[in-house]
Amino acid sequence: MRIISKSRLRAFWERHADAKDSLLSWYREVVTADWDTPVDIQGRYPNASILGGNRVVFNIKGNAYRLLVKINYPGRIVYVRFVGTHAEYDRVNVREV
The CATH code of the domain that includes 22 is 3.30.2310.20
- pTM (two decimals): 0.93
Contacts of 56 (CB under 8 A, 6+ apart): 38, 41, 48, 49, 50, 68, 69, 71
CB neighbours (10 Å) of residue 38? 16
Confidence of residue 88 (pLDDT cuts 50, 70, 90): very high
Contact 63, 48 (CB under 8 A): no
Q: Is residue 97 part of a domain?
A: no
Q: Is residue 96 part of a domain?
A: no
pLDDT at 95 over 90: no
Domain total of the chain: 1
pLDDT at 86 over 90: no
* Model pLDDT for residues 12-61, shown as the tens digit of each residue: 999 999 999 999 999 999 999 999 999 999 999 999 999 999 999 999 99
**Which residues pair with residue 21 across a beta bridge?**
none
